[in-house]
Amino acid sequence: MEKSQAAALARPVYETNFPEAKLLRRGKVRDVYDAGENLAIVSTDRLSAFDVVFPDPIPWKGAVLNQLSKYWMNKTRHIVDNHFVSSAVMMLPEEFHKHRAVLEGRVSLVKKTEPIRLECVVRGYLTGSGWSSYEKTGEVCGIGLRKGLRNAERLDEPIFTPTTKEDNGHDRPVNAKEAARIVGGEETFERLKDYSIRLYECGAEYALSRGIIIADTKFEFGVLKGGIALIDEALTPDSSRFWPTASYGVGSNPPSYDKQYVRDYVKSLGWNEEPPAPRLSREIIEGTSKRYLEAYSRLTGRELYYHATARDISREFGTCMRHLD
C-alpha cells in the first residue's frame, strides 16, 4: 500500500453515499451496495458496542476488518466455502470506480447469498457474559461446565452458544432446539455448529502461534448454491476477543486487541448500554485504532500501511480529531 493510500485510510469514513450505486442496507458497521450478480460490502470506520453504533469513527478500523476478513476467508476455504470474490476496486462495476479513494482497502466484492438468521458464537475461554452467567448458574447458555473455573480460564473444549440476529436491539442467546427451529432443522444446525467450531479451532491455533489468544468469536453463514457459506466477517477484532499471550493470566480480564477497550471505557462512564451512545475521547479513539492495527500486523505478519512512522500516525490522528471536533 502506498503512503497516499495509507493517509486516506487514516481519514475516517463514517458512512458512504454513492449516488450512482444502489445502497441495499446500512448495517451497524458495513454499507452494502448492489453490484450486479454480487454485492459490494464497504467496511466503514463506525464502531458498534452493545449493539449500539457510536458517533465517533475509528481511523483504519474499516480497513482492518475488511482485509483481515479477506485473510481468514482465504485461509479457511478448506473448512467451508465463503462469499468472498475480490477486494480490488477495479473488479467492481464501473459506477464504483470514481470512488476509489474511499473504497480502497475497505471494500469487498462478495457473492450474493441468503443469510441464515443466527449468530454462531464459539467460546474457547470463560469471559464476558459467559463468565457472568457461570458465576450465577454454573452454566453458559444452558451448557453446564465443571466447577471451579475462573474468569478468563480456558475451557476444556470450545462450546457453541448461538444467539439470534436482531436488526434492532440486542441479540439474545438461544438453546439448540430454538436455534434448529430458526435455521430450518437439526441437520442445518449441526452443520453450522461443526463449521463454527472448526473455524474457531483453526483460527485459534494459528493466532496462538502469532502471540494472540482468540477467547471467543462469532460467525455468520448464508446459503450459496444450495450449500452453506461463511459470510460477513471472520475472526476480526469486531467479532472476537483477542488477548495478547504475553499478558494473559487467569482470574481477571486480560488486555485486548479488540473493542473490549471501548466497552470498559463506556461502562466506567455509567452508560446504560442504550442509545444514544456516548462520545469517545481522543485517547480512546487512538487507543482503539492502534489495537486494531496491532491485531492485524500480528496475525498477518504485515503492516496495513506503508512505511508509516510514529510521526505520520500522530499527524493523521490529529487530522482525524479535527474532523470530529
The per-residue pLDDT for range 118-132, each reduced to its tens digit, is: 999 999 999 999 999
Q: How far apart are CA 207 and CA 214, in angstroms?
A: 7
CATH number of the domain bearing residue 33:
3.30.200.20
CATH number of the domain bearing residue 184:
3.30.470.20
State whether 85 and 143 are in the same domain: no
State whether 174 and 41 are in the same domain: no
Q: What percent of the chain has pLDDT above 70?
A: 90
For residue 104, give its domain range.
3-112+287-324
Nearest to 81 by CA among 221, 233, 235: 221
Q: Please report the sign of the dihedral spanned by the C-alpha atoms of residue 108, residue 275, residue 262, residue 160.
A: negative
Whether 274 maps to a domain, the answer reads no
State whether 42 and 90 are in the same domain: yes
State whether 24 and 107 are in the same domain: yes
Structural domain tally of the chain? Answer: 2
- For 36-112, strand residue ranges (E) read 38-43, 48-49, 52-53, 81-82, 84-86, 107-111
State whether 45 and 169 are in the same domain: no
Q: Is the pLDDT of residue 306 over 70?
A: no
pLDDT grade for 304, boundaries at 50, 70 and 90: confident
State whether 84 and 149 are in the same domain: no
Q: Which three cell numbers stand for residue 53?
A: 453504533
Whether 7 maps to a domain, the answer reads yes
Whether 186 maps to a domain, the answer reads yes
State whether 123 and 255 are in the same domain: yes
The mean pLDDT value of the chain amounts to 91
Cβ of 52: how many Cβ atoms within 10 Å? Answer: 18
Instruction: Select from 266, 299, 316 the last residue of a domain.
Output: 266
State whether 74 and 173 are in the same domain: no
Q: Give the pLDDT of residue 206.
A: 98
Please tell me the least confidently modeled range out of 50-54, 140-144, 196-200, 305-309. Answer: 305-309
Phi, psi of 217 (to 5 degrees): -160, 170
State whether 140 and 261 are in the same domain: yes
State whether 100 and 122 are in the same domain: no
Q: Which three cell numbers stand for residue 131?
A: 463468565
Q: How far apart are CA 34 and CA 22, in angstroms?
A: 6
State whether 144 and 71 are in the same domain: no
Q: Long-range contacts for 15-22 (Cβ within 8 Å, ≥24 apart)?
A: 15/44, 15/46, 16/42, 16/44, 16/99, 16/102, 18/95, 18/96, 18/99, 20/95, 20/96, 20/98, 21/93, 21/95, 21/96
176 or 321, greater pLDDT = 176
Whether 76 maps to a domain, the answer reads yes
Whether 10 maps to a domain, the answer reads yes
State whether 46 and 151 are in the same domain: no
Please tell me the least confidently modeled range out of 40-49, 286-295, 300-309. Answer: 300-309
Whether 125 maps to a domain, the answer reads yes
Evaluate whether 197 touches 92 at the Cβ level (below 8 Å).
Answer: no
Q: How far apart are CA 236 and CA 258, in angstroms?
A: 8
How would you write 16-55 as a 3-class SS string? CCCCCCCEEEECCCEEEEEECCEEEEEECCCCEECCEECC
Whether 278 maps to a domain, the answer reads no
Instruction: Select from 266, 295, 314 the last residue of a domain.
Output: 266
pLDDT grade for 307, boundaries at 50, 70 and 90: very low
Whether 277 maps to a domain, the answer reads no
The per-residue pLDDT for range 182-234, each reduced to its tens digit, is 999 999 999 999 999 999 999 999 999 999 999 999 999 999 999 999 999 99
Provide mean pLDDT across the span 287-309.
Answer: 83
